[in-house]
Every structure is written in C-alpha cells, then in structure tokens.
Amino acid sequence: MNFLINKKSKLRTINDIIDIKLEPTIESDRKKYKILIIDDEGFAQKEGLNKLGFKDIDVKFNYTTMEEYSAYDIIFCDINGVAKEIDPYFQGAALAKKIKEMYPDKFVIIFSALDQSLDFYPYYSSVDATIIKNLNSNQLSEKLDQYISTISNPKYKWDSIKKILESNKIPTENIAVFEDFFVRSFLEGKDYTSDIKKYCQKSLKEKSEIMKKILPYVFDVMKDVVIMCVTK
C-alpha cells in the first residue's frame, strides 16, 4: 500500500479508463439489471418488456422503505399518488430525489402522464432522467438500453462514490486516493476492500464513524467494478 501513502506516487484518475470501451451485451444486460417501477396505477408494459428480455422487473404501488430500493439498478418513480407521506405536494418527485441522494449509483427516472409546474424543476434536475408514462414497450426498451449503457460506464459509478464522499466532507486529497483504488479495481479486477480499510484507519481517523457508514456503499459499487473488469 506504499504507493498510496507516498505523495510522490502518481495516483490514477478516472481519465485513465474513460476511453476504455466495453463490449455491448444487450441481451445479457437486459436480464441482469434489476428494474423497479413505483406507480400507484401499476405498470401495463411489464409483460411487453419481459418479452423483450427484461426479466427482472418489480412493481410497487406506493412508497415502502428507503432500504428496499437498494436492491435495484434502475428505478422509475411516478409523481401523483406516490409517497404523499414524504411530501403531500411533490409526492413521487420528492421520493425520486430522496432515492437519488441516498443511492447515487441508481439510475432514477421521474415519469408522469401529466405536465407538472415549474415548481417541480429542482426535482427533475436532481434525478437522471424524466420521461412521459405513455411510452410503449419498444420505446421503453430503447430508453432502458440507454440507461443500462450509462450505469455500466465506470465513470458513472465513480461519480456516485465521489458524491457520497463529498457530501460527507471527506477531504479532496483522500477522495483522490479512493479514485486511485477505484481505477485500479477496474483495471486489475482486484478487490481492494482490505487496503481501503487500512487506508481509512491510517489517514481518516478523525472521520472513522462517518467512514463506517460510507464504506459499505463504496464496497458495493466497487464490487460491480471488479465484475465489469472481468467481463470487459
């Protein structure tokens, strides 16, 4: 781990892997990514998407618990009739924003059949995409392929880790080391979990309680990166 402690060592950055092209695997990707629809009216296109290869789609009719959303990769959230207990006016838009803040690696989409007022703009801008509800299965499958391509990009995954670190006021120099770990994980297909723990114990003692909360999330995202490396 000396290369991480020695300030003269060159730490790798996301730019070192940004040009690496991953082979498209549309058929297998459609099967492996978990999709959640939150809509009080249900989701009529589920069967059509299943036939197109999207095999792992769950539908929830209302807000449950934030912890349940951790299991999904892509989350569609309707506005009206969803999550009134979180916000009686913004409803599902407020829930979508909350999910994205808690799980930056999830691709969160606000979708609604109705045009909303400008009041909703801060919520639209806080998620990954906004679309109308009345798309057919083929149109939705094209959107989902785009979303899968985005979340399987290593930069998207690193950005989600970086947001968590920054929101918890981890110093820039420490974030740079995490970035180095991340890039090496992708390039080498190696699990750096133990190295990261040692680094935190040595360099982030004053933030030990914060890091205990953050690290499980960081490790989950980096596991995906190792898998991506093996399959790229």
Burial of 88 (0-12, 13-18, 19+ CB in 10 A): exposed
- Residue among 63, 40, 59 at smallest CA distance from 49: 59
The 3-state DSSP class for residue 57 equals strand
Q: 157 Cβ partners below 8 Å, 6+ apart? A: 105, 151, 182, 221, 224, 225
Give the pLDDT of the chain (232 residues) as one tens digit per residue.
444 444 446 899 999 988 776 665 777 889 989 999 999 999 999 999 999 999 999 999 999 899 999 999 999 999 989 999 999 999 999 999 999 999 999 999 999 876 666 788 888 899 999 998 889 999 999 999 999 999 988 899 999 999 999 999 999 999 999 999 999 998 888 899 999 999 999 999 999 999 999 999 999 888 877 766 555 4
The helix (H) or strand (E) run that includes residue 95 is: helix 92-102
Q: 29 Cβ partners below 8 Å, 6+ apart? A: 145, 148, 152
- Domains belonging to the chain, first-starting first, are 2-19+154-231 (no CATH), 26-151 (3.40.50.2300)
Helix, strand, coil share of the chain (percent; to 5): 55, 10, 35
Length of the chain: 232
Phi and psi, residue 20, nearest 5°: -70, 125
Structure tokens that stand for 211 in this block: 């890091």
